[in-house]
Amino acid sequence: MDNFLPQVWVVRSDKDTHFTGALLTNALELEALGDAAPTSSNRTASIRSIIRRITVISVQNLAWDVMLFKAAYTPPLTVDGDLHPMVDWLSFAAADGVRVAGAGLYLYTWSGMEFPYYNTDAPGRIHVGLINRDATAKIIAAGGEIVVEIEGISA
């Protein structure tokens, strides 16, 4: 019976290896998150999933776009709309960032969404783009540490 229930999965970037570069205004950094060879015990995103939550944890309070792509690619983005790999995105304003007791990391989250995600080239992976939409640059390394966490379900 369990085979018919949706599988909840969470994929999380690593602050030491993902999104570590400096990002100027409107700059994009791409990462492929998740397990390249999912099994029933370590399943993350399957070929088709539903994204339910996106969370950003950041040292800096900046405006972020988190974009999801169905396939890996090398920027610049294609100008052919038929070939563009974007699936969806979520925008966070700097004002959305909250801190506990006015200190520590900035937290941004959006939950309760249900948008389809599908991966055409690497089941188990999620192609994520982080865009700095703020006038202030994202700092490189520890000064600009950031974690992106995505939760979804798949059958």
- Structural domains in the chain, CATH included, are 2-154 (2.60.120)
CB 154 within 8 A of CB 6: yes
> What is the C-alpha separation between 141 and 30, in angstroms, rounded?
16
pLDDT band per the 50, 70, 90 thresholds, residue 37:
low
For residue 38, pLDDT over 60 is answered with no
Q: Rounded to an integer, what is the distance from CA 50 to the centroid of its chain? A: 14
> Does residue 76 carry a pLDDT above 70?
no
pTM of the model: 0.87
pLDDT at residue number 138: 97
- First-last CA distance in the chain: 12
Backbone φ, ψ for residue 45 (5° rounding): -75, 135
Alpha-carbon distance 148 to 54, whole Å?
A: 7
126-143: per-residue pLDDT in tens? 899 999 999 999 999 899
